[in-house]
Structure 1
Amino acid sequence: MKTTFMIIQLVIAIVLSLVILLEPPRGEGLGAIGGSAKLFHVGKEKERRLDMIVAIAGGAFFVLAGILAWAM
């Protein structure tokens, strides 16, 4: 059972890494000071969907890490 959880956690970690890399840059930070930030952003639905996947995968990773720590 422990091995199964470790494999699931590995898959979630890979998915989480890939989804974070797929996210577009936010356009915040120092670029916003000089006026080079994006004012109109296309693809809000895709961004929301990626944010939701990151939140779910991050939560699942956190829960599985707790379960694995408790099982050891």
Structure 2
Amino acid sequence: MTLTNIVEIIWAISGIGLIVLVLLHSPKGDGLGGLGGQAQLFTSTKSAEITLNRVTWTLVAVFLGLTVVLSAGWLTTPQ
């Protein structure tokens, strides 16, 4: 396995993980119930949501960084 293959595997895993984590987030909009402002009365920031946000943003940074590295061809040796 070459370094490019390993980075591509990490890139694919981070992309799949990013999809899963985005789907795990709780919806921010409450539909028509959010119009009156009652939806914000009972919501609180939980540590699980904060951790989920941090992990999601970390995977975004990894995914975008590896996308730039792979698309620029910085890992391939010039011939």
- The TM-score, its normalising length taken from structure 1, stands at 0.81
Aligned residues: 72
Aligned with 2:39: secondary structure? Answer: coil
Contact 1:27 1:38 in 2 (8 A): no
- Taking the aligned partners of 2:47 and 2:22, their CA distance within structure 1 comes to 16
Q: CA deviation at 1:28?
A: 5.4
User: What amino acid is the match of 1:14?
Assistant: I
Larger Rg: 2
Identity rate, percent: 31
- Taking the aligned partners of 1:70 and 1:55, their CA distance within structure 2 comes to 22
Runs in 1 of length 4+ with deviation above 3 angstroms?
27-31
Show the counterpart of 1:49. 51
- The TM-score, its normalising length taken from structure 2, stands at 0.75
- Taking the aligned partners of 1:53 and 1:25, their CA distance within structure 2 comes to 17
Q: CA deviation at 1:69?
A: 0.9
Q: Verify: 1:14 aligned to 2:16, yes or no.
A: yes
Question: Structure 1: any 5+ residue segments left out of the alignment?
Answer: none
RMSD over aligned CA atoms reads 2.2
Q: CA deviation at 1:3?
A: 1.1
